[in-house]
Every structure is written in C-alpha cells, then in structure tokens.
C-alpha cells in the first residue's frame, strides 16, 4: 500500500536524503526517523562530504548525493532558517520530489521565492515550520513523535487522516485517534470513553506548518487524503491567517473533496494585524478572520468544533453516520 | 517579529542600491550641529521607528534660520509622547515640481495565485494614497525575477500625465532591488519628488522588516548597537532574551500582556508550549473577563530542561500572578520527565511559586506524572497534574478552586555550598557533588540517571566523558533527590535577578 507521499508528490517508496545530518538535531532526528522505518540513504552538509553519520554517507551537495544514489526522491531539512531557501532550491535542482522543511523563522521573502521556484519544478515541499509527516505505512519525516518508540506506540494504522497547521496539534490529533478508551465528549453530551479497544486509527499526519506561505497547503493535503483509500475521514486543525481553510471549503463545495472533514478552528479571539507565535496566523485581510473561515467551512458542510477535545467525538459521530 | 526602520536608516539601504535621495545629514542626541547641513530652508525630522503622520504630530519641521534650527532641535531631541528620538534627520528644502508615491509590499498569495511582491505607485504623493485607488498602480512582481526599468516604464504609461517616465521607472527598479536585497516587508517612499531639473529623489521614506530576515552583515543598520533594544521589552522579557542568548536550544518565547486586566480578574501566568497551545488557551479564555492571561510563552522544540527552568522562574516572577497553567509540549519534542523536573525545581526554588495546573503529554509523560505524584506534597503550593487528553478547556474549570487554596510563603532558595565539581557551558549550569553523601562502590543514582553518559564514575570519583555532552535534562539531580542520597545538586544561575 503506498503511503500519503504517493498522492502528495508521486513518490511510491520514499528514499531519503537528510540535509544537516551532521548537526545535533539532524543526527538525532535521523536516528528517530530510521528507527521508525524511514529509508535514509544519504546525508548532506556542505563541507562535510566524505564523512559518515551512523553509517549514512554524507555529501557536500544534493547533486553529489543523487549522483551516488539515483533512487533518492525525498529530502528532510534540519538546517538553519536562513539556509533553507538555498538548500531547498539545490534539492529541487537535483530532482528530489518531496521536501520537508522543518525550520522555524524562514524569512517571508525566502518562502515566497521557494513557492515560485517550486512551481517551475517537479517538486513539492512541506513547511516551512513543520514537525513533518508521519505515515502509518512505516515512515516519518521530521520530528513527529519525539522518539521512535513513542511514535510506534501512539500512531497506529487506521482510517483518519490528520491535517494541521500546528506541530503540537498534529501530534495530538494523530495520537488520540489511536488511543484505546480515549475519554471525551460523547454525542449525548456526557463525558467518558468514546470508544473501547477499537480506536479509529490513523492513515497519516500531515503538518502543513505555521507559516504564511506553506508549500503543501491544507487543500493539497486534503486532496491527497481524498485519493488515499485508507483514509475515510479527515481531522484538521486550522486557524486565522492565510486562505487555506477558505480554499478547503471551496473545494468541498465544488465536490473536489468528498470525504467528511472535522476541523477545530483556532484563533476566535485573534486580533487583526497582530503578530502571532505562528507567523501564518496573523490576520492580513477580512477573509483571513476566524469568522470568515468559520462561515466558509460551515457553508461547505464541514463540521467545525470550537474545542479541541470535541474533534474525537465528532469524528466518531461522522464515522457512525 | 516585525520591526520598523526609521527614515535615516531606510535611506542607507536605498543609497546602497544607488536610489537617489534628497541630501541630508543625521544628528544624534548630544552631538553638535553638523557643519555640513544643507542650505536654508531645511527640514528637521525626528527619527522614531514606527512613527507615522509625523508632520501632523510636529515631528517634521521647516526651519529658515540658524536660531530656529537650534530651538527646534532641542524640542525634537527631547523625549516626547512618541518616546526618545534616535536623532534628527536634517534634509534640504527642495523645489519640488510634483510629488509621487511609491511603495513595495508582499502578496502572500492564495490557493490559486502565487505569492510575490507588489509595487504601488501613484502620481499623487501624501497621506491616504491607498484610498485613492483610481490613481494607484498595483504591479505584482516576482521576487525571483524582478522587473527591469523597461518593463516598469511600460506599466507606467497608463499615467498619461506622468513626467519623466524613464527616470521614475529607474527609481522604482532601484527601490524594488532594495526591497528584495534586504527582504523588507514594507518599503515606502512618500513623497517621491520630481524636481525642477527633471530628476527624481526620495524625499521621505520608511521600511518595515522581519527581525529574522536580517543578515549578519547588515545587523548594524537594523539593530544599531548604540541604540540598544528598540523592541520595547519589559524587564522580564529582557531576561528571557538573555536566557535565549546563553542557551539557544529550542524555542524560548515570552511576552507579557500589555493590556489592563479587568477589575477582579484572576491573573494567570502561563507556559503554553507551541503556537497551537496558545490558540487553545485563547479559545478557552478569550471571552472570559474573570481570567486575565498575564503572558504568552512558547517553550518547545527540544529546549533543555535548564532553559525550561529559567523561563519558568521568569514566568513565576510576574507580580500579582495567582496561578500557573502549564501545558507540556503538544506531544513529544521535549521529554516530559525532563520538563517535570524543571517545573519541580522552579516551584521549589522560586521565592514566588504559584498554585499550578500542569499537563504533561509526550515521551515519558508517565514518568512526569509519577514524579509529581511523589513530590507534590512537599511543595509550598498546591499542584494538580493532567494527562495529555485533558485540554486547557477542561483544566480551566479547576482554576478558581486552586487559586483559592492556601499557599506557604517565604520560600527561600539556598544555593549549594562549596565549589562546583563540573561547570557545563552550554546549556549553562553548575554541578555540585558531595562525595561524603555517596559511599557505595557502584555508581551513585545521579550518574546512573545521566542519559548521555556525560557523567561517569571511575574509581569512586565523579568524572565526565569528553566525547559525551550534558543536555541539561536535570535527570542527575532528580535521581539524587528522589533516591534520597542528595549527592548531586545543580545550580542554575539566572542571567539577571528576576525576583
């Protein structure tokens, strides 16, 4: 069974290059990813070509890595925010199809340039400012789970696809759909276990990141889940800023997305023009307000909940209906 | 984080890209009047980042004599309602034939439209140009392949009465080039003056920028060292900046609420990990007037427990806070046992601990819960812990009750005695070891608990492995205290006194 990256980037079997693998975070997260099952076959740090990190060969550039390992098709970046643009463009030039940009604080100019550059290439990217992607087929890119043991214990195969603009909520929404006897608000308003041992489970978690110019948008992720036969329903976290939720609502209205969606929409009290800890949550115009998004989502028939712990009960209701 | 750049510093950027400017000199407070001031009449402009409508606020003044110059400089260089000016820009009074407006901004795009830059141009300068849409050109441009003079000139032809079209187009090309080179968010020239001799020049300008977009080589323009912090930080926020300087691991964000709390509202100090955590809390309390959130904080992304402790000490030091609400990382970046150790230590050592609602979720969440089950009774404040599936909206139901409980006062932290056995530079911390408290042959609990192998035990003595590093997790001290042996204590100095 192909994982969600097949539908995001046309990649059946991800073969991965890690940028910044010689750094502290690159090293530790590579260990996490490999232990979870991700195929990491090369690393890249300019000036450190020829070294090895836990048996993984390191190259000076993406082009050099691809020359030695032509099967490379995916890259995860643990590089400083200021270096993301160049590194990602090099990876696209080298023909890598799916990139995961984890760094927080990438300048808006760099994000805009990357978006334009990617539109001319056969590449897509997740982030920046993302915890990454986890697929229960057995791979993860980025930081999800913190440790492989924890990730394997908490993310189990099933029918829910998760899309989120927040790292923490990506992980919560994913893990709690895999937790037996999860307590929550039932349909009758009472509080107690929503399900027994037969939790709904997860197909994949896609964190689109908290920045104003995401590579893969919420709609792109929803379109991938639409094609993914494992996924029966989508659980999402959206918030103010950008037009991602509005675009998602429009796609549901015109029938491009047919699978049910439950979304927790944050930012009800966010003031326009005020910077948020998610750079992308800042409201820049009327269509980016909580009210406008809530209206658009409801009009499209999407279930919007105002409490994060109401997502799970709503998912259960949708699955039972 | 976005900041504003005053005119005199924006001019440096434009000048570097050869964009023509009216001539002028900058004068700092305390300096003598420059010898090379332009001929009278001249304009004096107080330089205050972010100040708008300067003319109507008296921050821009025309001067015709030297006496007027001295008198007005005194006023403009004194602190006013806008604060202290960085200085005064003295520019020549030009014979301007026509005033134009030019600006650059970002378009963040939508699902079906690529993002890019936008050039704004109007044949009418002055304020309120955005509303005069009839005369406003909005030219979208690529940051990757910006337009050249000829392309801009073609677009400008829609203004039938525009004089010196080529000179204006050249100016705009230079402006776009400046905008892109310095990754500015906003760059405005208003007015852009067409002079009698047919040349154009920036008469006034300003910029906004993202702090994280400033390259090292340009830092002195954007953050002049002699001006110090222009971020308007509180004392506690300044301390968190220093904590981040000393220990850059993960995210350490802290901002205090500048709003006035509603009367009788319960003041809650928060440590919410991640941007999503902040949204959850806002959704829970945003409409309530009985709860006042004293601060925002985001401690996530794999920061050390040493850093968590220090930021918690700052959070707890907020005057008049009644309760601490902490939600551990969304899931697992930060080991929750390490975080719990930091919280325990902060509540023990802060002179102003707060009744606390603590939610741990992620790696070793069970150990975090277990730690507090054992130590809660020994703390001077009541503490309640929650599993990760309990979100802030449910935690807030307990907030009034825990705030009403009695707390012990007079919490006094006594630093460990003697000399530290090990000084860790990054993350910074001092490890004190008391060999008389451990007489066993095997490694003491503190050494056994070290997850990286940094602490070693050889021939009955504590030492370190030079190939391993201390990650500042506090597991050594926690084990030593929990086992009751107390052979190892960590002292974490604050960069400045917080309490």
End-to-end Cα distance, chain A:
27
Same domain, B314 and B169: no
**pLDDT reported for residue B328:** 66
**Chain A positions in Cβ-Cβ contact with residue B334 (cut-off 8 Å):** 146
How far A268 CA sits from the closest chain B CA (Å)? 6
Residue B284 to residue A316: CA distance in whole angstroms: 23
Same domain, B326 and B435: no
Confidence of residue B130 (pLDDT cuts 50, 70, 90): low
**pLDDT reported for residue B131:** 58
Same domain, A217 and A82: no
A294: contact with B, CB 8 A cutoff: no
**pLDDT reported for residue B178:** 98
Q: Are A290 and A272 in contact (CB under 8 A)?
A: no
A168:B388 CB<8 A: no
Q: How many domains does chain B have?
A: 3
Report the CATH number that the domain containing residue B469 is assigned in CATH. Answer: 3.30.70
Same domain, A299 and A219: yes
A314: contact with B, CB 8 A cutoff: no
Distance of CA B317 to the CA centre of its chain: 19
pLDDT (average), residues A116-122: 96
Same domain, B112 and B249: no
**Chain B positions in Cβ-Cβ contact with residue A307 (cut-off 8 Å):** 283, 391, 393
**pLDDT reported for residue B361:** 80
* Residue ending a domain, choose from A129, A147, A169: A129
Q: Considering the domain boundaries, does residue A117 fall inside one?
A: yes
Q: Is pLDDT at A26 greater than 60 in this prediction? A: yes
Same domain, A125 and A168: no
Same domain, B99 and B201: yes
Q: Is pLDDT at A268 greater than 90 in this prediction? A: no
Confidence of residue B333 (pLDDT cuts 50, 70, 90): low
Q: How many domains does chain A have?
A: 2
Supply the mean pLDDT for chain A: 93
Same domain, A49 and A115: yes
Segment of A60-69, B108-117, B196-205 carrying the highest mean pLDDT: A60-69
Q: Considering the domain boundaries, does residue B408 fall inside one?
A: no
Q: What is the percentage of chain B residues whose pLDDT exceeds 70?
A: 93
Closest Cβ opposite residue B283 in set A146, A176, A306? A306
B108:A284 CB<8 A: yes
Q: Considering the domain boundaries, does residue B34 fall inside one?
A: yes
B276:A278 CB<8 A: yes
Q: What is the value of pTM for the model shown?
A: 0.86
Same domain, B196 and B321: no
Q: Are B206 and B3 in contact (CB under 8 A)?
A: no
Confidence of residue A34 (pLDDT cuts 50, 70, 90): very high
Q: Considering the domain boundaries, does residue B414 fall inside one?
A: no
Query: φ, ψ for residue A204 (rounded to 5)?
Result: -160, 160
Same domain, A175 and A54: no
pLDDT (average), residues B52-60: 75
Chain A contact probe: residue of B113, B143, B177, B275 with most A CBs at under 10 A? B275
Residue A105 to residue B1: CA distance in whole angstroms: 9
Q: Is pLDDT at A90 greater than 90 in this prediction? A: yes
Same domain, B261 and B185: no
Q: Which residues of A are catalytic?
A: 278
Closest Cβ opposite residue A308 in set B108, B287, B391? B391
* Residue ending a domain, choose from B359, B375, B403: B403
Residue A285 to residue A64: CA distance in whole angstroms: 44
Domain residues for the domain of B368 are: 235-403
* Bridge partner residues of A134 (DSSP): A140, A205
Q: What is the percentage of chain B residues whose pLDDT exceeds 90?
A: 58
Sort strands A98-101 and A124-126 into parallel, antiparallel or unpaired.
parallel
**pLDDT reported for residue B397:** 84
pLDDT (average), residues A215-233: 98
Same domain, A239 and A183: yes
Same domain, A68 and A30: yes
Which 3-state string (H, E, C) describes chain B?
CEEEECHHHHHHHHHHCCCCECCEEEECCCCCCCCCCCCCCEEEEECCCCCCCCCCCCCEEEECCHHHHHHHHHHHCCCECCECCCCEEEEECCCEEEEEEEEEEEECCECCECCEEEEEEECCCCCCHHHCHHHEEEEEECCCCCCCHHHHHHHHCCCCCCCCHHHHHHHHHHHHHHHHHCCEEEEEEEEEEEECCCCEEECCEEEEEEHHHCCHHHHHHHCCCCCCCCCCCCHHHHHHHHHHHHCCCCEEEEEECCCCCCCCCEEEEEEECCHHHHHHHHHHHCCCCCEEECEEEEEECCCCHHHHHHHHHHHHCCCCCCEEEEECCCCCCCCHHHHHHHHHHHHHHCCCCCCEEEECCCCCHHHHHHHHHHHHHHCCCCEEEECCCCCHHHHHHHHHHHHCCCCCCCCCCCCCCCCCCEEECCCCEEEEECHHHCCCCCCCHHHHCCCCCCEEEECCEEEECCCCCCCCCCHHHHHHHHCCCCCEEEECCCCCCCC
Same domain, B8 and B154: yes
pLDDT (average), residues B263-291: 81
Q: Considering the domain boundaries, does residue A191 fall inside one?
A: yes
**pLDDT reported for residue A184:** 85
**Chain B positions in Cβ-Cβ contact with residue A145 (cut-off 8 Å):** 331-332
pLDDT (average), residues A151-172: 92
Same domain, B378 and B434: no
pLDDT (average), residues B102-131: 85
Supply the mean pLDDT for chain B: 88
A243: contact with B, CB 8 A cutoff: yes
Q: Is pLDDT at B110 greater than 90 in this prediction? A: no
Domain residues for the domain of A90 are: 1-129
Q: Considering the domain boundaries, does residue B440 fall inside one?
A: yes
How far B140 CA sits from the closest chain A CA (Å)? 13
Q: Is pLDDT at B188 greater than 70 in this prediction? A: yes
How far A49 CA sits from the closest chain B CA (Å)? 22
* Residue ending a domain, choose from B158, B188, B222: B222
Residue A204 to residue A3: CA distance in whole angstroms: 8
Out of A178-182, B107-111, B246-250, pick the least confident.
B246-250
For residue B338, what are its two tokens? Answer: 């390490």
**pLDDT reported for residue B365:** 85
Contacts of A296 (CB under 8 A, 6+ apart): A245, A246, A249, A250
Same domain, A178 and A120: no
Q: Considering the domain boundaries, does residue A247 fall inside one?
A: yes
Report the CATH number that the domain containing residue B260 is assigned in CATH. Answer: 3.40.50.261
How far B425 CA sits from the closest chain A CA (Å)? 16
Q: Considering the domain boundaries, does residue A277 fall inside one?
A: yes
* Chain A from 39 to 98: CB within 8 A of any B CB: 81-82
pLDDT (average), residues A245-274: 91
**pLDDT reported for residue B129:** 58
Name the residue of chain A whose CA is nearest to B287's CA. A269
DSSP label at residue A284: -
Report the CATH number that the domain containing residue A2 is assigned in CATH. Answer: 3.40.50.720
Confidence of residue B265 (pLDDT cuts 50, 70, 90): very high
**Chain B positions in Cβ-Cβ contact with residue A144 (cut-off 8 Å):** 331
* Residue ending a domain, choose from B373, B403, B433: B403
A166:B275 CB<8 A: yes
**pLDDT reported for residue B294:** 93
Out of B13-22, B173-182, B353-362, pick the least confident.
B353-362
Q: Considering the domain boundaries, does residue A57 fall inside one?
A: yes
Confidence of residue B275 (pLDDT cuts 50, 70, 90): low
Same domain, A233 and A105: no
Q: Considering the domain boundaries, does residue B496 fall inside one?
A: no
Q: Considering the domain boundaries, does residue A56 fall inside one?
A: yes
Q: Considering the domain boundaries, does residue B282 fall inside one?
A: yes
CA count, 13 A, side-chain hemisphere, A299: 15
Confidence of residue B447 (pLDDT cuts 50, 70, 90): very high
- ipTM score assigned to the predicted complex: 0.91
Report the CATH number that the domain containing residue A199 is assigned in CATH. Answer: 3.40.50.261
Closest Cβ opposite residue A167 in set B106, B274, B361? B274
Q: Considering the domain boundaries, does residue A112 fall inside one?
A: yes
For residue B296, what are its two tokens? Answer: 């925002």
Q: Is pLDDT at B25 greater than 70 in this prediction? A: yes
Report the CATH number that the domain containing residue B146 is assigned in CATH. Answer: 3.30.470.110
Q: Considering the domain boundaries, does residue B378 fall inside one?
A: yes
Same domain, B213 and B242: no
Same domain, A77 and A124: yes
Q: Considering the domain boundaries, does residue A170 fall inside one?
A: yes
A182: contact with B, CB 8 A cutoff: yes
Confidence of residue B68 (pLDDT cuts 50, 70, 90): very high
Same domain, A166 and A313: yes
Name the residue of chain B whose CA is nearest to A150's CA. B363
For residue range B396-429, what is the model confidence (pLDDT) as tens digits? 889 999 998 877 776 788 889 999 999 999 899 9
pLDDT (average), residues A150-161: 94
Same domain, B29 and B69: yes
**pLDDT reported for residue B329:** 57
Q: Considering the domain boundaries, does residue B308 fall inside one?
A: yes
B274:A115 CB<8 A: no
Q: Is pLDDT at B228 greater than 60 in this prediction? A: no
A271: contact with B, CB 8 A cutoff: no
Contacts of B228 (CB under 8 A, 6+ apart): none
Q: Is pLDDT at B133 greater than 60 in this prediction? A: no
pLDDT (average), residues A272-292: 81
Same domain, A161 and A108: no
Same domain, B83 and B196: yes
Selection from A250, A301, A119 nearest residue B115 by Cα: A119
Same domain, B50 and B178: yes
């Amino acid at each position: 069974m192909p994982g969600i990256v097949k539908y995001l980037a046309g990649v059946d079997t991800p073969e991965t290059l890690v940028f910044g693998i010689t750094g502290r975070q690159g090293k530790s997260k590579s260990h996490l990813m490999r232990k979870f099952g991700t195929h990491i076959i090369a690393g890249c740090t300019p000036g450190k070509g020829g070294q090895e990190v836990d048996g993984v060969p390191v190259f000076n550039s993406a082009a050099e890595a691809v020359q030695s390992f032509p099967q490379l098709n995916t890259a995860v970046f643990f590089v400083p925010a200021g270096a993301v643009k160049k590194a990602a463009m090099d990876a696209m030039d080298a023909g890598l199809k799916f990139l995961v940009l984890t760094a927080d604080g990438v300048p808006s100019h760099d994000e805009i340039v990357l978006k334009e550059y990617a539109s001319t290439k056969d590449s897509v990217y997740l982030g920046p400012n993302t915890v990454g992607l986890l697929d229960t087929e057995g791979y993860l890119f980025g930081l999800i789970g913190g440790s492989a043991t924890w990730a394997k214990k908490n993310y189990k195969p099933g029918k829910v696809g998760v899309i989120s603009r927040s790292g923490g909520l990506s992980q919560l929404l994913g893990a709690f759909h895999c937790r037996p006897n999860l307590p929550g608000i039932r349909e009758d308003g009472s509080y107690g276990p929503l399900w027994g041992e037969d939790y709904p489970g997860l197909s994949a978690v896609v964190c689109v990141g908290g920045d104003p110019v995401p590579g893969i948008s919420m709609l792109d992720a929803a379109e991938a889940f639409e094609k993914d036969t494992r996924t029966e329903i989508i659980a999402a976290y959206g918030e103010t800023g950008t037009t991602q939720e509005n675009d998602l609502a429009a796609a549901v209205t015109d029938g491009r997305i047919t699978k049910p969606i439950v979304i927790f929409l944050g930012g009800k009290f966010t003031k326009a023009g005020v910077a948020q800890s998610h750079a992308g949550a800042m409201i820049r115009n009327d269509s980016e307000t909580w009210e406008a998004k809530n209206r658009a989502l409801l009009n499209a028939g999407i279930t919007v909940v105002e409490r994060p712990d109401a997502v799970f009960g709503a998912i259960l209701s949708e699955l039972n209906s | 984080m976005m900041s504003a750049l005053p005119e005199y510093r924006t001019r440096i950027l434009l000048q570097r890209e050869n964009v023509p400017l009216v001539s002028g000199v900058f004068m700092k407070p305390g300096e003598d009047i420059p010898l090379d001031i332009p001929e009278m009449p001249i304009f004096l402009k107080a330089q205050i980042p972010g100040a708008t409508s300067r003319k109507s606020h008296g921050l821009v003044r025309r001067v015709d004599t030297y006496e007027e110059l001295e008198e007005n400089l005194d006023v403009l260089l004194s602190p006013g309602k806008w604060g202290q000016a960085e200085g005064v820009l003295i520019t020549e009074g030009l014979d301007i034939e026509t005033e134009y407006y030019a600006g650059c901004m970002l378009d963040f795009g939508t699902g079906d439209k690529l993002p890019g830059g936008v050039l704004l141009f109007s044949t009418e300068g002055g304020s309120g140009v955005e509303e005069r849409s009839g005369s406003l050109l909005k030219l979208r441009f690529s940051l990757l392949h910006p337009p050249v003079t000829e392309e801009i000139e073609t677009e400008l032809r829609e203004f039938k009465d525009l004089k010196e079209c080529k000179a204006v187009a050249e100016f705009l090309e230079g402006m776009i080039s400046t905008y892109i080179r310095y990754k500015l968010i906003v760059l405005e020239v208003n007015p852009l003056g067409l002079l009698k001799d047919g040349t154009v020049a920036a008469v006034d300008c300003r910029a906004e920028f993202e702090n994280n977009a400033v390259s090292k080589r340009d830092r002195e323009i954007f953050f002049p060292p002699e001006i110090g912090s222009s971020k308007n930080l509180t004392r506690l926020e300044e301390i968190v900046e220093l904590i981040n300087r000393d220990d850059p691991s993960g995210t350490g964000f802290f901002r205090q609420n500048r709003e006035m709390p509603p009367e009788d509202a319960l003041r809650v100090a928060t440590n919410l990990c991640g941007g999503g955590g902040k949204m959850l809390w806002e959704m829970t309390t945003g409409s309530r007037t009985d709860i006042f959130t004293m601060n925002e904080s985001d401690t996530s992304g794999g920061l050390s427990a040493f850093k968590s402790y220090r930021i918690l000490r700052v959070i707890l030091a907020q005057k008049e806070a009644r309760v601490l609400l902490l939600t551990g990382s969304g899931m697992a970046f930060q080991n929750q046992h390490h975080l719990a150790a930091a919280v325990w230590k902060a509540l023990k050592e802060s002179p102003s601990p707060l009744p606390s609602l603590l939610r741990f979720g992620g790696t070793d969440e069970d150990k975090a819960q277990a730690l507090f089950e054992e130590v809660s009774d020994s703390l001077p404040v009541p503490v309640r812990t929650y599993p990760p599936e309990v979100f802030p909206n449910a935690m807030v139901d307990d907030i009034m009750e825990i705030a009403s409980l009695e707390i012990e006062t007079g919490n006094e932290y006594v630093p460990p005695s003697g000399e530290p056995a090990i000084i860790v530079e990054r993350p910074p911390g001092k490890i004190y070891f008391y060999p008389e408290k451990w007489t066993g042959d095997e490694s003491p609990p503190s050494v056994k608990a070290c997850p990286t192998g940094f602490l070693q035990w050889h021939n009955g003595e504590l030492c370190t492995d030079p190939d391993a590093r201390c990650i500042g997790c506090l597991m050594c001290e926690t084990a030593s205290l929990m086992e009751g042996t107390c052979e190892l204590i960590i002292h974490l100095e604050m960069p400045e006194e917080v309490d």
